[in-house]
Amino acid sequence: MKTPSHPGRFLLLACAMVALLAAMWAGLLRLDLELPYLQPALSLSHGPLMVCGFLGTLISLERAVALNQWWAYVAPLITALGTLGLVVGVPGIFTPLLISLGSVAMVWNLGVIVRRQRALFTAVIALGGVAWLIGNTLWLFQVPVLSLVHWWAGFLVLTIVGERLELSRLISHSGRVTGLFIVSTVAFVGGLAWASLDRIRGLELAGVGLILLSAWLFRFDVARRTVHQHGLPRFIAISLLSGYVWLAVGGLYWVGAPVLNNPDLHFFHYDAMLHAIFLGFVFSMIFAHAPIIFPAVIGAPLVYRKAFYTHVFLLHLSVLLRIGSDLGGRFALNRWSGILNVTAIVVFLLNTAYSIALGRRTSAPSANGPGLG
């Protein structure tokens, strides 16, 4: 049955897309490409635009749609207003304050979800919201992004891992398997907290947690089964499993955090440590879940096409180039990886828009069903 669309959802989704485009532009500026600055502080807003503006608004909107209550939309609305402040370059604490308030509202929404459904996966997703709130609060109090970005990573990792755990309920896991998941999550969250006191040691522990979580997902996620199917379920599974590989790579870089004490290697290690997670892992998850999330948010069907593999291939090629350039200490190659990454995201947006247009034209569900990979 087709879900009715709501104009407010379109506006909030459009705001998230504006943040994504602005974040990509800011990323290219940070690579010293000769592009118009649009506003003076744009290049410095690359991380906040991507994590808080794009992903924060999108995830808040997804939770509001799930709750299906008018008050739940306060979270994405406040976050979207803060996002617009980032895009136009509003000075001072106004933008961090709005986004921090948006994360408070989202944690409230997540608390309601936990009360409605007391389960391990809702608790993990709620922990992700708390991690975002902590990172945003530190940002509000002008803590450097380098010293809080692990909390933003925790927001995305815990949110995604919690969602995958929810879908893995389709498989009956033993107590031992669930215990392994809990141990991995505790190691990761404990490392995040420790990193605020001892950055290097905390990142090392969090990195161990990331590696354990990636191994758990690769072994026990339902994608291990759906990858043998066809069409959309197979596409989603391939995107997920490849993303778990990048999560493990990111974990290895976090474990290697002592390298950050070496001024000659600091930039390249830090770049690889973040982009393996934010680019390789997170965008693999976005590409995998988009055929499910976009129809749910905008109330329109989406037609699966094999062309979806194009943006997945370009994404992984760009991350490989990025990590390779960091390993070799070649900043020039970072520029090409950045251009290729932007190309992958633009192709993804075009592919998705065209598939939604096809869905509207045919007014029929995806040929392969929901395909929860």
**What is the structure's pLDDT at 170?**
60
Query: What does the DSSP assignment read for 230-282?
Result: -HHHHHHHHHHHHHHHHHHHHHHHHHTGGGGG-TTTHHHHHHHHHHIIIIIIH
What is the 3 state secondary structure string of the chain? CCCCCCHHHHHHHHHHHHHHHHHHHHHHHHCCCCCCCCCCCHHHHHHHHHHHHHHHHHHHHHHHHHHCCHHHHHHHHHHHHHHHHHHHCCCCCHHHHHHHHHHHHHHHHHHHHHHHCCCHHHHHHHHHHHHHHHHHHHHHCCCCHHHCHHHHHHHHHHHHHHHHHHHHHHCCCCHHHHHHHHHHHHHHHHHHHHHCCCHHHHHHHHHHHHHHHHHHHHHHCCHHHHCCCCHHHHHHHHHHHHHHHHHHHHHHHHHCHHHHHCCCCHHHHHHHHHHHHHHHHHHHHHHHHHHHHHHHHHCCCCCCCCCHHHHHHHHHHHHHHHHHHHHCCCHHHHHHHHHHHHHHHHHHHHHHHHHHHHHHHHCCCCCCCCCCC
CA nearest to 50, candidates 343, 352, 342, 348: 342
Instruction: Give this prediction's pTM.
Output: 0.91
Q: What is the pLDDT of residues 255-293, one digit of tens each?
A: 998 887 777 677 888 889 999 999 999 999 999 998 888
Low-confidence ranges of the chain (pLDDT < 50): 1-4, 364-373
d(Cα 319, Cα 313) in Å, to the nearest integer?
10
In one-letter notation, the amino acid at residue 354 is Y
**What is the structure's pLDDT at 348?**
95
Q: What is the pLDDT of residues 293-345, one digit of tens each?
A: 888 777 778 889 999 999 999 999 999 999 988 888 777 788 889 899 999 99
**What is the structure's pLDDT at 292?**
86
d(Cα 212, Cα 214) in Å, to the nearest integer?
5
**What is the structure's pLDDT at 266?**
79
What is the 3 state secondary structure string of 20-31? HHHHHHHHHHHC
In one-letter notation, the amino acid at residue 347 is V
**What is the structure's pLDDT at 35?**
84
Residue whose tokens read 């398997």? 177
Question: If phi over 0 gives left and psi between -120 and 50 gives alpha, with beta otherwise, what is residue 215?
Answer: alpha
% of residues, the chain, pLDDT over 70: 94
Contact 222, 207 (CB under 8 A): no
